[in-house]
Amino acid sequence: MSDLLFDAPKTHSIPVEGAGADYPVHRIFCVGRNYAAHAKEMGVEVDREAPFYFTKTPSATTPSGAEIPYPPGTENYHYEMELVLAIGKPVFRADLKTAAEAIFAYGCGLDMTRRDLQLVAREKGRPWDLGKDFEQSGVFAPLIKAEHVSEIGPQRIFLEVNGAVKQDAHLSDLIWKVDEIVSDLSKFYHLGPGDVIMTGTPAGVGPVSAGDKIIGGIDGLGMVSLSITAAE
Ligand code: MN
């Protein structure tokens, strides 16, 4: 390899419970509108024809428990509590069984969103990057290996801001199930270790301000938290 003119970018990673090592993040895929009640609150109908995706840059990876400044360029900064998948095997055009077997771990994540910028982009038919892919916009709790998770469905997924419950649903409310998401995404990408998927948020999204503390959780999959400080 040629010498590099600048320092190579840092590898971002997510801790894995009991593994003694981290999961390196290569790509972050996000599923849009995967809970009917959330799609409705966003003023759109759910389309069962196919899921759709957007991405976040891996350097957006932020550990649970972080204190981060209110981000630039927005006046409507939202939380979205999500189930996170981490892929552990190479898969391409995977059937549902192969897709399920490729899931290495599950976890809790926050898809932090500049909602005002996302909605402007949506209305104008522009990409969502400014609204979704920005610094510290992907917050991840330590992952739990899939071998320790019996079934995805009955678990409660919830989020609180300053102790008040804002999102409260169950993973059984997911429109696209975890194996369906991995199978579908593998039609478009060679997925493999390092690929993280945020599976969409339930209803109840809303804004946060400087001084707010967010705590989210999924039964059996731990908790994710984030504190917002004053804008830089
Ligand atoms: Mn989301």
CATH (domain of 122): 3.90.850.10
Summarize the confidence of residues 192-215 as an average pLDDT.
98
Q: Does 37 reside within a domain?
A: yes
Q: How far is the CA of 113 from the centre of ligand 1 (A)?
A: 8
185-198: per-residue pLDDT in tens?
999 999 999 999 99
Phi, psi of 183 (to 5 degrees): -60, -45
Global pTM reads: 0.96
Q: How far is the CA of 109 from the centre of ligand 1 (A)?
A: 9
Q: How far is the CA of 93 from the centre of ligand 1 (A)?
A: 24
Q: How far is the CA of 61 from the centre of ligand 1 (A)?
A: 14
- Alpha-carbon distance of 167 to 136, in angstroms, equals 21
The pLDDT assigned to 46 comes to: 74
- Alpha-carbon distance of 4 to 34, in angstroms, equals 41
35, 173 in Cβ contact below 8 A? Answer: yes
- Alpha-carbon distance of 178 to 184, in angstroms, equals 10
Number of domains into which the chain is organized: 1
- Of 7, 64, 49, 15, the closest CA to residue 184 belongs to 49
62, 174 in Cβ contact below 8 A? Answer: no
- Of 141, 130, 140, 138, the closest CA to residue 60 belongs to 138
Question: In the numeric block, which tokens belong to residue 210?
Answer: 């400087």
Q: Does 51 reside within a domain?
A: yes
Q: How far is the CA of 1 from the centre of ligand 1 (A)?
A: 37
Contacts of 16 (CB under 8 A, 6+ apart): 22, 23, 105, 142, 143, 144, 145
Q: Is the pLDDT of residue 98 over 90?
A: yes
Q: Is the pLDDT of residue 79 over 80?
A: yes
Question: In the numeric block, which tokens belong to residue 120?
Answer: 């402007």
Q: How far is the CA of 199 from the centre of ligand 1 (A)?
A: 7
Q: Which domain holds residue 76?
A: 13-229
Q: Is the pLDDT of residue 1 over 80?
A: no
Q: How far is the CA of 131 from the centre of ligand 1 (A)?
A: 11
14-70: per-residue pLDDT in tens?
999 999 999 999 999 999 989 988 888 888 877 677 889 999 999 999 999 999 999
131-172: per-residue pLDDT in tens?
999 999 999 999 999 999 989 999 999 999 999 999 999 999
Q: How far is the CA of 34 from the centre of ligand 1 (A)?
A: 9
Q: Does 3 reside within a domain?
A: no
- Alpha-carbon distance of 231 to 72, in angstroms, equals 7
Q: How far is the CA of 176 from the centre of ligand 1 (A)?
A: 13
Q: How far is the CA of 158 from the centre of ligand 1 (A)?
A: 14
Q: Does 1 reside within a domain?
A: no
- Alpha-carbon distance of 141 to 109, in angstroms, equals 6
Q: Does 7 reside within a domain?
A: no
Q: Does 169 reside within a domain?
A: yes
- Alpha-carbon distance of 112 to 212, in angstroms, equals 14
Question: In the numeric block, which tokens belong to residue 168?
Answer: 């409260």
20: left (phi over 0), alpha (psi -120 to 50) or beta: left
Q: Does 55 reside within a domain?
A: yes
* 8-state DSSP, 106: E
The pLDDT assigned to 50 comes to: 81
The pLDDT assigned to 71 comes to: 98
Q: What is the chain's mean pLDDT, rounded? A: 96
Contacts of 94 (CB under 8 A, 6+ apart): 102, 182, 183, 186, 191
Q: Angle at the Cα of 196 (from 192 to 197), degrees rounded to 5?
A: 115
* 8-state DSSP, 12: P
The percentage of the chain sitting over the pLDDT mark of 70, rounded to a whole number, equals 100
Q: How far is the CA of 112 from the centre of ligand 1 (A)?
A: 8
Q: Does 5 reside within a domain?
A: no
